[in-house]
């Protein structure tokens, strides 16, 4: 992509000015409302990959999603950074949903396919993904396509991460006391679609999509994300 004067930083600042002006013109109270209110319904835990911007792919506005992103969306029970985000989101913001989302073409998953070392802190951080690779060794050995292997590792990484989330004492407490829900999802970069992997709090009660029953909606400007009974999440145009 080409930027004016080949200066990406200045282009970003200029783009921000245009965006802020547009939002203020569209809704003069937009930024005042953001300043006075912080009540997101969703905690999104995802990858730092620039191709997976959570509010963009969910079609939701600023303020709707509390976010934690790291390299390869790894949930480590000893990572105080992740733990602090979870605690604040669950205890103080009282989010209703935690979404752990992996994605295709993940650099972390790709890095674990070979025996070469990433070096430095990356080597330590990717240890859990190498454990995932070892767990899947027999299945991976039957697959020739590296893309398919990457997706298998990335999806298993979400499964492992959801298990860690479900074992978190704060998460457990709020699941029992107020019905907090945990979801494991996967974003396909090639299609722009998010799949519910059927993991988390609704895993044991998943059923076919239905137009009946309860549903919870998080609304954006042009679309809404709907969490239906039975663990089915979907995007609907408004």
pLDDT tens digits, 107-147: 999 999 988 887 899 999 999 999 999 999 999 999 999 99
Per the annotation, the verdict on 185 as an active-site residue is no
Q: Which of 106, 174, 202, 228 is catalytic?
A: 106
Lowest-pLDDT range of 12-26, 67-81, 207-221: 207-221
Rounded-to-integer distance, Cα 91 and Cα 94, Å: 5
Sign of the torsion formed by the C-alpha atoms of 145, 140, 189 and 215: positive
- 142 against 218, higher pLDDT: 142
| CA distance between the termini of the chain | 32
- Asked if residue 49 belongs to a known ligand binding site, the reply is yes
The whole-number pLDDT of residue 228 equals 57
172 in the Ramachandran plot: left (φ > 0), alpha (ψ -120 to 50) or beta?
alpha
Rounded-to-integer distance, Cα 200 and Cα 214, Å: 18
- 210 against 199, higher pLDDT: 199
Per the annotation, the verdict on 101 as an active-site residue is no
The whole-number pLDDT of residue 12 equals 94
In this prediction, residue 213 has a pLDDT band, given cuts at 50, 70 and 90, of very low
The whole-number pLDDT of residue 219 equals 58
User: At residue 184, does pLDDT exceed 70?
Assistant: yes
Per the annotation, the verdict on 115 as an active-site residue is no
Lowest-pLDDT range of 10-24, 72-86, 162-176, 207-221: 207-221
Q: What is the mean pLDDT of the chain?
A: 88
Tokens of 21: 């002006």
Element spanning 99, H or E: strand 97-103
The whole-number pLDDT of residue 156 equals 98
User: At residue 62, does pLDDT exceed 70?
Assistant: yes
- Asked if residue 101 belongs to a known ligand binding site, the reply is no
Q: Which of 68, 97, 103, 202 is catalytic?
A: 103
The whole-number pLDDT of residue 216 equals 60
**Sheet architecture: strand order including 232-237:** 215-219, 223-228, 232-237
- Asked if residue 147 belongs to a known ligand binding site, the reply is no
State the average pLDDT over residues 153-169: 98
In this prediction, residue 222 has a pLDDT band, given cuts at 50, 70 and 90, of very low
The whole-number pLDDT of residue 202 equals 84
pLDDT tens digits, 21-56: 999 999 999 999 999 999 999 999 999 999 999 999
Helices (H), 29-79: 30-36, 54-58
User: At residue 220, does pLDDT exceed 60?
Assistant: no
**pTM beyond 0.75, yes or no:** yes
- Asked if residue 97 belongs to a known ligand binding site, the reply is no
State the average pLDDT over residues 53-63: 96
Per the annotation, the verdict on 178 as an active-site residue is no
Per the annotation, the verdict on 222 as an active-site residue is no
Give backbone dihedrals phi and psi of 101, rounded to 5 degrees, phi first: -125, 120
CATH superfamily of this structure's domain 38-205: Carbonic anhydrase (3.40.1050.10)
User: At residue 235, does pLDDT exceed 80?
Assistant: no
């Amino acid at each position: 992509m080409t930027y004016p004067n080949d200066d990406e930083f200045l282009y970003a600042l200029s783009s921000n000015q245009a965006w802020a002006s547009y939002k203020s013109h569209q809704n003069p109270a937009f930024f005042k409302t953001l300043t006075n209110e912080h009540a997101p319904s969703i905690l999104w835990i995802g990858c730092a990959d620039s191709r997976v911007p959570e509010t963009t792919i969910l079609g939701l506005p600023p303020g709707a999603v509390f976010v934690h992103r790291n390299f390869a969306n790894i949930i480590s029970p000893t990572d105080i950074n992740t733990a602090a985000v979870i605690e604040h989101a669950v205890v103080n913001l009282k989010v209703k949903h935690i979404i752990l989302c992996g994605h295709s073409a993940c650099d972390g998953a790709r890095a674990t396919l070979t025996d070469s070392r990433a070096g430095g802190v990356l080597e330590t951080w990717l240890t859990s993904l190498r454990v995932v690779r070892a767990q899947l060794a027999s299945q991976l050995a039957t697959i020739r396509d590296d893309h398919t292997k990457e997706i298998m590792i990335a999806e298993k990484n979400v499964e492992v991460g959801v298990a860690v989330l479900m074992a978190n004492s704060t998460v457990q407490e709020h699941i029992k006391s107020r019905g907090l829900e945990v979801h494991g999802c996967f974003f396909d970069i090639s299609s722009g679609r998010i799949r519910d992997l059927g993991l988390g709090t609704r895993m044991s009660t998943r059923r076919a999509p239905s137009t009946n029953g309860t549903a919870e909606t998080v609304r954006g400007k042009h679309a809404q994300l709907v969490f239906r009974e039975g663990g089915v999440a979907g995007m609907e145009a408004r």
